Structure 1
Amino acid sequence: MSGLPDGLMDAFWDYERALMADDLEAMDRLFAPGSQTLRGDADGLVVGHDAIAAFRRTRVAPPPRTIVETHVQAVDDDHALVVAVTAPAKGGRGQQTQLWRRGPTGWQVTAAHVAIPAPPLDGRVWRVVGDPLLPGGPGPLSGESVAVKDLYAVAGHRVGAGNPTWLAEAAVETDHADAVARLLAAGAAVRGISRTDELAYSLAGTNAHHGTAPNPAAPGRIPGGSSSGSAAAVALGHASIGLGTDTGGSIRVPASYQGLWGLRTTHDAVPRAGLLPLAPSFDTVGWFARTPDLLARVGDVLLPPAAADPTTGSDLVVVPALLELADPDVREAVRAYADDRGALVEDWPLDDLADWRIAFTQWQAWEAWRAHGDWLRERLDCLGADVRGRFRMAAGISAEVADGARAVGLAARARIRDLVADRVLVLPSASSVAPLLGSDLAAVREATLRLTCLAGLAGLPGLNVPLTTADGLPAGACLVAAAGRDRDLLEIGRRG
């Protein structure tokens, strides 16, 4: 390798040793500082030294490999492209492409792309997948494919609920859940069973057992949960329809984080037969799609017929106090969406919102422990830390506290329905863009629940309309209407 820039290959091998040792400090030092440094792989592109460093601190340590070949093209004395062919210990061939620059402290990587052998199954997204798992037939959804959240019964398979212990003890289902059966009858194929956060008790999508599904719209950021697998499958193009659920925001939040259309249906509008519950007073069927047209076509299959005397008011309403609950970048994107459509601005009496959020959390927790406490009592340690903490809190909710929360929640339900009336409320689907991997998610969860609990408490439908912030990150406007107006929301989405 005569003629190579001095010190280049020494730096290359220093990086390779650091990578194999998972020496984060050395890898950070060998990547150039600044906001223009790039690192990409099949999950997407991460931009900026600090974002790359944060990504490394959350990903699984790289698997063992050897360098089979190296090829160098020197651009000049201070810049060079190095392409390495890698041999993972598990087999196959990979490739690593790095652009190196010599600076005052030596050689550093300014851009890198990593390619590894594709797994036969991305276990972060799917538990079971087929080609397809269950074929479709003739019907209005013929040619479409569905990712089924691992809470719905699929005949011949077990419900795993995002937890290996639950899966190991589950019985094989003999019948499809109602929603699955109807999608199949309409001609859609089931592509597979997608991952969920454990027992659906999360909004993050960071499953402690199976990893964090990629967010192709915002690499290096969480996908949102608990319908994380279904959302990621749609965003990645693995399936065209993602069947999920929404109790506290598990359709609206992943859709917002990943730039998808998503509908949380009116409570009880779509039967929940064959669906593993979390909190039955709030659990709803929902789904994702990449286009509003397909989202509406799924609604034609799953939703009840339109009411004979429908509520047809189409005035959009935006409430500044609700916008203020979101981060500035999300707030401005939602405000621009509302302004462009002539939304009315109203001040709503929301002094009780903090109490409503607490009531929602306590009522949900009470029902979650009623649903799963008997099974979990001796198995809490099988849960990841975040979900385990929520169930421990749920176990401590007394009947008296639950009754008080229910009373506050029912009063909130009536008040929210009165305020929405025959209009369409526009508010942020989540309080922020998708947080970076490794972020402290507790505060984000609480902030988002202040927004998502409104439709949850009131049992109202919510449509996520994908937006983009000024920085180019996915965000969402949530359109909330009166109970039973799901089809109206879908039509608004179609009109744009």
Structure 2
Amino acid sequence: MLCGPDEKAFPARPRLLLPADAWAAVPKELHEAFSRPLSEARALWGGEEEARLAPCTLGRFAEAFRHLQAAEAWRSWGSFIEQVHPALGPGVRERFAFAREAASEDLRPWREERSRIKAFLDEELAGGGLLVFPTLPGPGPLRSGSDADMEHFRSSAFALLSPAGLAGLPSLSLPLGTLQGAPVGLTLLGPAGCDEWVLRCGCELMESLGRPRMLFSSAGFAPIFFFL
């Protein structure tokens, strides 16, 4: 979804940023799954620069998103849940119980954390930076997996899924890898107000790999489906 043209012009070639903390959080097999796309990105845009995804630990990063998202979810759905008492499934029930608590707590520390993270990412991405990292820590969990397996995957994925929604940045996930016979995505995260530019970068990388332009984009993507 594009909400309008980019707010300003961005360079034809992005600064390729591979955040060390994000790549360190995923298994080595996932690094290998993206070896060709990353080689192609280096050939297209030049060698990568050192970068980080968060000024703090990724766990702290995810906690800020978790508290702020939960409070917003309760403000939207709390009265309905308390009046109707819908039958919520495993995981969803516990997350809405947490949301009830989050909505009543002092969220100022988490809002301050969000401001600090946004300022950090704005600086990292200044001058046409493009953060490139795995969308998830591996293939999606199997439908036959247990609730515990799903919750473990969700917790591991949250830190990688949170940046765009927390900092209000355009994000694009490209299906450029395969692991254990299942597709895995590579995220491109760009500066605020550059949705069109991130799409162009994604198209360029896809075309260089001989892939069709089948892309998913979101401006300030918030993985609400992982909450609900």
Q: Shorter-chain TM-score: which interval?
A: 0.7 to 0.9
Q: Deviation per CA, 1:109-130, whole angstroms, max 9, x where unpaired?
A: xxxxxxxxxxxxxxxxxxxxxx
Q: 1:401 to 1:441 in 2, by over 3 A?
A: farther
Structure 1, unmatched stretches of 5+, are 1-285, 287-301
Q: Does the Cα contact within 8 Å between 1:381 and 1:388 map onto a contact in 2?
A: no
Poorly superposed stretches of 4+, deviation over 6 Å: none
Q: CA deviation at 1:361?
A: 0.1
**Residue number among 166, 176, 200 corresponding to 1:491 in the alignment:** 200
| Aligned residue runs from structure 1 range 75-224, under 5 A | none
**Residue number among 84, 98, 101 corresponding to 1:379 in the alignment:** 84
Give 2:143's aligned residue: 437
Q: Quick one: distance in 1 between partners of 2:83 and 2:55?
A: 41
Give 1:355's aligned residue: 60
In the superposition, the TM-score normalised over structure 2's length comes to 0.77
Q: Deviation per CA, 1:330-383, whole angstroms, max 9, x where unpaired?
A: 232235422332141414364333212111100110111111111111334422
**Alignment partner of 2:186: what SS?**
strand
Q: How many residues align?
A: 195
Q: CA deviation at 1:321?
A: 2.1
Give 2:93's aligned residue: 388
Percent identity over paired residues: 28
**Alignment partner of 2:75: what SS?**
helix
Q: Quick one: distance in 2 between partners of 1:457 and 1:433?
A: 23
Give 2:10's aligned residue: 311
Q: Quick one: distance in 1 between partners of 2:116 and 2:177?
A: 35
1:346 aligns with 2:50: yes
Q: Deviation per CA, 1:394-434, whole angstroms, max 9, x where unpaired?
A: 00125444222112112111112211222111011111112
Q: Does the Cα contact within 8 Å between 1:380 and 1:388 map onto a contact in 2?
A: no
Q: CA deviation at 1:470?
A: 5.2
**Residue number among 114, 120, 133 corresponding to 1:427 in the alignment:** 133
Larger relative helix fraction: 2
**Alignment partner of 1:378: what SS?**
helix
Q: Does the Cα contact within 8 Å between 1:324 and 1:331 map onto a contact in 2?
A: no
Q: 1:429 to 1:341 in 2, by over 3 A?
A: same
Q: CA deviation at 1:452?
A: 1.2
Q: 1:320 to 1:411 in 2, by over 3 A?
A: closer
Q: 1:369 to 1:473 in 2, by over 3 A?
A: same
Once superposed, what is the RMSD of the aligned Cα atoms?
2.0
Q: 1:316 to 1:386 in 2, by over 3 A?
A: same
**Alignment partner of 1:474: what SS?**
strand
**Residue number among 67, 82, 107 corresponding to 1:402 in the alignment:** 107
Q: Quick one: distance in 2 between partners of 1:390 and 1:470?
A: 29
The amino acid that maps onto 1:396 is: E
The amino acid that maps onto 1:383 is: L
Structure 2, unmatched stretches of 5+, are 206-228
Q: Quick one: distance in 2 between partners of 1:314 and 1:457?
A: 22
The amino acid that maps onto 2:81 is: L
Q: 1:468 to 1:352 in 2, by over 3 A?
A: closer
**Residue number among 456, 480, 483 corresponding to 2:189 in the alignment:** 480
Give 2:211's aligned residue: none
Give 1:462's aligned residue: 171
Give 2:222's aligned residue: none
